[in-house]
């Protein structure tokens, strides 16, 4: 009988410690948002993408060389 009471008391102590640790835990630091570069629109399909990733031709921006070629053909 004494062993069961001891287990219940130990379980209660562990539960209280875990609850207190969770309550006083510091929140995870938030990562700063990374500001994207300037976004441009593909002249063929309308997809927005960062200017650095775009293909440029005659002041127009394209998402791929294939779309650049398709736009040139008509």
**Tens-binned pLDDT, residue by residue, of the chain (74 aa):** 678 899 999 999 999 999 999 888 888 788 777 777 899 999 999 999 999 999 998 899 999 999 999 998 87
What range does the domain containing 48 cover?
Answer: 36-74
Number of folded domains that form the chain: 1
- What pLDDT is stored for residue 1 in this prediction? 67
The counts of H helices and E strands in the chain are 2, 4
Q: Could you tell me the pTM of the whole model?
A: 0.51
User: Does the residue 66 lie in any domain?
Assistant: yes
Output the domain CATH number for residue 55. 3.30.60
Asked if 28 and 35 count as a contact pair (C-beta separation under 8 A), the reply is: no
Is position 52 within any domain?
A: yes
**24 in any annotated domain:** no
63 neighbors 45 (Cβ within 8 angstroms): yes
Check residue 32 and give its pLDDT.
77
């Amino acid at each position: 009988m004494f062993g069961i009471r001891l287990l219940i008391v130990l379980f209660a102590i562990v539960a209280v410690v875990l609850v207190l640790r969770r309550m006083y835990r510091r929140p995870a630091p938030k990562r700063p948002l990374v500001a994207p570069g300037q976004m441009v629109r593909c002249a063929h399909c309308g997809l927005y993408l960062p200017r650095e990733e775009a293909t440029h031709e005659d002041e127009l921006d394209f998402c791929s060389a294939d779309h650049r070629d398709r736009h040139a053909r008509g």
